[in-house]
Amino acid sequence: MKRILQLITALMLCIVFTGCKQEPQLSDDIYIFYTSDVHCGVEDNLTFAGVKALVNETKAEHPHTMLIDLGDYIQGGTLGSLSKGELIIELMNAMDYDIATFGNHEFDYGMEQLKKLIGMAEFDLTASNVIYTGNKENIFADVPAYIMKEFDGVKVALIGVLTPSSTVTSTPAYFQEDGEFVYDFYSGNEGKDLAAQVQKTVDEARSAGAKYVIAMTHLGSVPEDEPYDAISLIHNTSGIDAVLDGHAHAVIIGDYYPDKDGKDVLLSSVGTKLQNLGELIIGKDGTLSTVLISKSAKQDEEILKKLEEVHSELDVLLNEKVCDTAVNIPIADENGIRMVRARETGAGDLVTDAFRDALGTEIAMTNGGGVRSTIEAGEVTFNDVLAVVPFMNTLSAVRATGQQILDALEFGAQSTEIIYEFDGNAAGESGAFLQVSGLKYTIDTSIPSGIVLDENKMMTGIEGERRVKDVYVLKDGEYVPLDPQETYTVGGSTYILSANGDGNTAFSGSEILINGGLTDIDVLSLYLQKLGTIPESYAGPEGRITVK
Do 245 and 142 lie in one domain? The reply is yes
537 occurs within a structural domain:
yes
pLDDT greater than 80 at residue 320: yes
Residues 279 and 247 placed together within one structural domain of the fold = yes
Q: Most distant CA pair in the chain: distance in Å?
A: 116
Whether residue 215 is contained in a domain is answered as: yes
- At 175, which amino acid appears? F
Q: What is the per-residue pLDDT for 167?
A: 80
Q: Are residues 402 and 537 in the same domain?
A: yes
- Mean pLDDT confidence for 74-92: 90
For the ranges 59-63, 248-252, 497-501, the lowest mean pLDDT is seen at 497-501
- 296 is a domain residue: yes
Same domain for 194 and 163: yes
Is residue 7 one of the residues assigned to a domain? no
Residue-number span of the structural domain to which 450 is assigned: 321-547
3-state secondary structure 174-202: HHEECCEECEECCCCHHHHHHHHHHHHHH
Res 10 pLDDT > 60: no
Of all residues in the chain, the percent with pLDDT exceeding 90 is: 78
* Domain boundary residue, one of 267, 291, 314: 314
Asked whether residue 458 is domain-assigned, the answer is: yes
Residues 346 and 374 occupy one common structural domain: yes
Residue 1 lies in a domain: no
Domain boundary among 266, 288, 314: 314
Domain containing residue 304: CATH number? 3.60.21.10
Check whether residue 403 and residue 291 sit in a common domain. no
Q: What is the pLDDT of residues 199-215, one digit of tens each?
A: 999 999 999 999 999 99
Residues 301 and 373 reside in one and the same domain: no
Query: How many Å apart are CA 69 and CA 289, to the nearest integer?
Result: 18
* Whether residues 336 and 266 fall in one domain: no
Beta bridge partners of 183: 132
CATH number for the domain spanning 416: value is 3.90.780.10
In a domain, 22, yes or no: no
Please give the backbone phi and psi of residue 65, each rounded to the nearest 5 degrees, phi first: -125, 135
**Strand residues in 320-443 grouped as ranges (E):** 321-325, 363-367, 378-381, 395-401, 421-422, 425-426, 434-437, 439-443
User: Which of 244, 279, 314 is the last residue in one of the domains?
Assistant: 314
pLDDT tens, position by position, 18-65:
445 678 999 999 999 999 999 999 999 999 999 999 999 999 999 999
Q: Is the peptide bond before 330 cis (omega within 30 degrees of 0)?
A: no
Same domain, 52 and 119: yes
Give the DSSP letter string of 157-179: EEEEEE-TTHHHHS-GGGGEETT
- The whole-angstrom separation of Cα 350 and Cα 352 is 6
State yes or no: pLDDT of 190 exceeds 70: yes
In DSSP terms, 450 is beta-bridged to: none
The whole-number pLDDT of residue 21 equals 60
User: Does one domain contain both 306 and 330?
Assistant: no
Bridge partners (DSSP) of residue 547 are 443
What is the reported pTM?
0.78
When the pLDDT of each residue in the chain is averaged and rounded to a whole number, the result is 92
Strand order in the sheet with 288-293: 124-125, 99-100, 65-69, 30-35, 277-282, 288-293
User: Does one domain contain both 291 and 325?
Assistant: no
Number of domains comprising the chain? 2
Asked if 67 and 212 sit in the same domain, the reply is: yes
pLDDT at 56: 97
Q: Indicate whether 23 belongs to any domain.
A: no
Rounded (10°) CA dihedral 127, 41, 379, 316:
-90
SS3 43: coil
- Residues whose CB falls within 8 Å of the CB of residue 141, separated by 6 or more in sequence, listed in order: 132
CA distances (Å), 40 to each of 97, 105, 366, in order? Answer: 15, 11, 24
pLDDT score at 16:
42
Look at residues 395, 338, 334 and name the one whose alpha carbon lies nearest to residue 371.
Answer: 338
